[in-house]
Amino acid sequence: MYRKTIAITTRCREELVDITAAVEAVVEESGVAEGMLFLYAQGATAAIMIQENWDDSVQRDVVSLLRKLIPRGVWEHDRQDGNGDAHLKAGLVGPSEAIPLIGGRLGLSQWQNVFFCEFDGPRRERRIVVTVLSA
């Protein structure tokens, strides 16, 4: 097993940040060719998503859809700290993903990348735990 934490900075309240290159670097460091990769976003208002990488319109559409489904400012938790929607969005998308490793590479299709989903930014530091297991 190999484990590393990636730290990123987010710039917007809600955004999808492509972390594929950073994840690929961890796989390369691990030296594992065949196995499984597990990603976990630390934080109750963040998530991990595998999504299309052709252009950023899909990422903008994801944010737009979640804003329509889960609007800001109408939730009980908003009375605490104003981010009830961020918690709900993160819970809906989910904090983790599992990806097979095939020949030392992520088993993603040509059109897939790995995204960190920020729902309560911007944040100076967000952390993603990357765990690589050998077959």
Domain segments of the chain: what residues? 2-7+14-134
Cis peptide before 122 (omega within 30 of 0): yes
Tell me the average pLDDT of the chain: 97
Which residue type is seen at 124? R
Distances (CA, A) of 108 to 1, 42, 95, 102: 21, 23, 18, 9
How much is the pLDDT for 133? 98
Kindly report, residue by residue over 1-58, the tens digit of the pLDDT: 999 999 999 999 999 999 999 999 999 999 999 999 999 999 999 999 999 999 999 9
How much is the pLDDT for 105? 97
Q: Which of 32, 28, 33 is nearest to 102 (CA)?
A: 33
Mean pLDDT over residues 123-132, rounded?
A: 98
Architecture of the 2-7+14-134 domain: Sandwich (2.60)
Kindly report, residue by residue over 67-107, the tens digit of the pLDDT: 999 999 999 999 999 999 999 999 999 999 999 999 999 99
Sequence-ordered list of residues with C-beta below 8 angstroms from that of 15, at least 6 positions apart, any chain: 59, 63, 117, 118, 121
- Identify the band that residue 134 occupies on the pLDDT scale cut at 50, 70 and 90: very high
Q: How many residues does the chain have?
A: 135
Alpha carbons 23 and 106: distance in angstroms, whole number: 9
